[in-house]
Structure 1
């Protein structure tokens, strides 16, 4: 792995918290992800299933974690199954975890090779009454591929039909949404790498460069700082491309007088950061661009203050909508009649700001979190308002990542990434 070792106390604590929520005499199973084929013998780069990583720190394929806190056999209360490594694998694929290093990574003392799974699992299931299966119930999930986890669940339920079944996902949604300090430090590291990338491109962007050249500058800086690269597909959208919310072609030339919107961020140790900035390609904002930019920035700053313990995500978005409506009235983009006659299900401000303001983030860019439950301290959220003006040829989005505090305003993990108009212009014109 490119990243430095993570303190295994994080994973020990995560398992302890998960097991404390399990039903009596139950076990839970977590699988690694597949390596997905492309064609011929080509594959996509491996990405570990975030749940097994959260609970073990194991970051390789063909791995299974089973936790069974009430198991009468103490050695089987936490068990890892790994693909057996050997000299051939070490030469052709690189070193894999052996049993000693698996313990150093995860804190799990009992480690078997994967070929022992069915025998050991049969013993554990003979003791257990309930089995927890791990489904993906994230509100944005759209899954067309059968995952390794899904295949295993199908096999498990067919082989052991007499067991009661429970779901891991609701427990993980709650646990993963509230971050340990070690996790916050890892997200901060990702944000710091993102900052280095952004500062690098401030000196690079000028009329005539291509969006993909800017993408390459970000990638260079991310990789040289121990990141695997982008936390999500980067958006580098100059001119009116910024009005396409998920513009990812990044293939246009940057023109004098236009703005360029970045929604680009680094990952570190599988933890995401998520940044948006909008800068002038020529190094100076026009008065109109500056007015719209500052309106978006004011909404971001005021919205951030609303992310406090006890707040409800849906209510928060209603309040942010009121902030944006006020700014759009001030910019002359809406008038009072627009607001008075608006459709409550699609308020007038949605013409110019059609997406949400905040989402959970952590191991996934759109991380786990039950949106109907109150916000808690140590949850990490994005704050990303925008105003999109196709008729004027530009769009502006600004986004920071913040940690909810027990009291007071959230802590901004991107506090050192330039965002004020004057600072960006100064840095671009040094």
Structure 2
């Protein structure tokens, strides 16, 4: 609210419940912004912020579906006005049926409306959301008002984490650790990728996670060279590696882990050499995540370290590097994705990438080397919190990563 222009209000809507067919729906996922600002995790909720409202009662308002005995029996009780205040700290709570009347009143008292739009650099939205419908209605109903975007304010706010957010993300990482250690004891030649997924899901649910923070990747052998392989339906064979990109959510916050392990519990010499190269790049990249670093410059520097490792592995030669296209450097043949992204409520979280990194931003670090000709790919990934001084805090420091430790745990 402190960053809004004078005499303006901002509106945030819950996500839709999306139908599958017949009477089936996709499990509800709350819009991250209304959750971030209010803690309300319920469908058909609206948050209104109007810091300069002449009526102090209307400077923060929540609109909720009115609960009743029928809803309580069939769906479970919704938030009462008292519970909504406990959850959000918002004192003024109205039922949704009164929204249009009250909204008309406050709109007559303001000049500018902030609308909630998704401007994440990876967003590719092809469906109309509840927020989209609301924004369309608002512009048609109140054409004389000035419209602004709340997104730039939220990108900056959400990218810098509060301590309570970091603590919740640490819990998500700790649950992920339990699942990974469980899998190290489970994997052997002949198991199927989906069986490994089931082991992980079991561990997530028994630790009060709702499940995977994103669609899990469990990629054995050459499947690892498909960056977004999500079928998880192949058998794991002796001599193969398995690339995991699997992690738990906790209380709507994400963790994001990648590990690569040998199906039979032992890396071959070649596999271990490539593994150690990826691990070295990861360690060196992590050191660069400090306040003031620019995301694009950081990726250029990581590319130089990766190039050196690929030369050492014989995957590139000096001619490849000398003749490379600056827009698609030689190392991109084997490492074609980015090294780091913001993480938080979303796995690919909000954050303005052209602005310098600051303390309490949380980033992944995830280099990889993918070699289809040799039948394997390796990615290693942890989640780290940028500190005011020194190296970042690794939220996944307790999750095994060294090749020797992986082998020891799988053979113990």
Partner of 1:269: 251
Task: Map 1:21-170 to 2 at 5 A.
Answer: 21-170=3-152
Cross-structure match for 1:12: none
- Give the whole-Å Cα distance in 2 for the aligned partners of 1:146 and 1:342: 42
1:226 equivalent in structure 2: 208
Gap regions ≥5 residues in structure 2: none
Aligned residue number for residue 307 of structure 2: 325
* 2-structure distance, mates of 1:246, 1:323: 24
- 3-state SS in 1 of match to 2:186: coil
Counterparts of 1:275 and 1:208, CA distance in 2? 24
Three-state SS of the structure 2 residue aligned to 1:408 is: coil
- Residue from 251, 254, 272 that aligns with 2:233: 251
Give the deviation of 1:422 after TM superposition: 1.1
Instruction: Supply the distance in 2 between the matched residues of 1:115 and 1:325 (Cα, whole angstroms).
Output: 61
Tell me, yes or no, if structure 1 residue 424 matches structure 2 residue 406: yes
* 1:201 and 2:222 are equivalent in the alignment: no
Matches within 5 A, 1:234-245: 234-245=216-227
Aligned to 1:360: 342
1:312 to 269, 282, 294: 294
Shift of 1:35: 0.2
SS at match of 1:406: coil
Could you report, residue by residue, the CA deviation over 1:143-170 in whole angstroms, capped at 9, with x for unpaired residues? 1100000000111111111111110001
What displacement does 1:341 show?
Answer: 0.4
Distance 1:201 1:86 in 2: 45
* Map of 1:395 onto structure 2: 377
User: Following the alignment from structure 2 to structure 1, what is the Cα–Cα distance between the partners of residues 374 and 45?
Assistant: 52
Using structure 2 for the length normalisation, give the TM-score: 1.00
The whole-number CA distance in structure 1 between the counterparts of 2:80 and 2:376 is 53
Aligned-partner Cα distance in 1 for 2:218–2:208: 22
Match for residue 13 of structure 1? none
CA distance in 2, matches of 1:225, 1:255: 30
Matches of 1:95 and 1:384 in 2, distance apart? 42
Specify the alignment match of 2:328 in structure 1: 346
Q: How much has 1:360 moved relative to structure 2?
A: 0.3
In 2, Cα distance between the equivalents of 1:166 and 1:237? 44
Aligned twin of 1:383: 365
Whole-Å Cα distance in 2 between the matches of residues 384 and 88 of structure 1? 49
Cα distance per residue 1:34-63 (max 9 Å; x no partner): 000001111000000000000000001000
C-alpha deviation, 1:90, in angstroms: 0.7
1:297 maps to which residue? 279
Which residue matches 1:285? 267
- Tell me the secondary structure at the aligned position of residue 246 of structure 1: coil
2 CA distance for matches of 1:96 and 1:189?
A: 27
Residue of structure 2 aligned with 1:374, choices 349, 352, 356: 356
Instruction: Write the distance in 2 (CA, Å) between the matches of 1:158 and 1:109.
Output: 30
What is the CA distance between 1:288 and its match in structure 2? 0.4
Ranges of 4+ aligned residues in structure 1 off by more than 4 Å? none
For 1:21 and 1:47, the matched residues in 2 are separated by: 27
Q: How far off is 1:205 after superposition?
A: 0.3
TM-score computed with the length of structure 1 as normaliser: 0.95
Offset, 1:94? 1.0
- SS of the residue aligned with 2:297? helix
Q: Count residues with an aligned counterpart.
A: 412
> What secondary structure, in the 3-state scheme, does the structure 2 residue paired with 1:102 have?
helix
For 2:2 and 2:169, the matched residues in 1 are separated by 26
Matching of residues 212-223 of structure 1 within 5 Å: 212-223=194-205
> Aligned-pair distance for 1:253?
0.3
2:27 & 2:366 partners in 1: Cα distance? 29
Please state how far the C-alpha of 1:331 moved relative to its aligned partner: 0.5
- CA-CA distance at 1:308 after TM superposition: 0.7
Question: Cα distance, 1:20 vs. partner?
Answer: 0.6
Question: What SS does structure 2 have at the residue aligned with 1:185?
Answer: helix
